[in-house]
Amino acid sequence: MNESRHERFKRLATLRTNAVLEKLRLMGNLSSKTNYEYSEEEVSKIFYAIDSQLRNIKALFSGKKKKEFKL
């Protein structure tokens, strides 16, 4: 039996979401000041990149187009 588009979406979304959540958990391990040294600027850059990509992906799912700059 062929997998429907919705079934394929659910299967892949589950796998990919779990992979992202695991990577985020691993990123959390980097917060240990006992094992790592980092600056607030570095942390800000990390979260800026993550937040930016998350906003872009949310926009794809909502069907919104990127707003272009206008004067």
pLDDT in tens, 18-62: 999 999 999 999 999 999 999 999 999 999 999 999 999 999 999
Integer CA distances (angstroms), 5 to 2, 11, 13, 17, 20, in order:
9, 10, 12, 18, 22
Between CA 48 and CA 54 the distance in angstroms is 10
- The residue to which tokens 């206008």 are assigned: 70
pTM of the full predicted structure?
0.78
Is 67 domain-assigned?
Answer: no
Range of the structural domain that residue 10 is part of: 5-62
The domain total for the chain is 1
Q: What is the pLDDT of residue 65?
A: 67
Is 45 domain-assigned?
Answer: yes
Q: What is the pLDDT of residue 71?
A: 83
Is 69 domain-assigned?
Answer: no
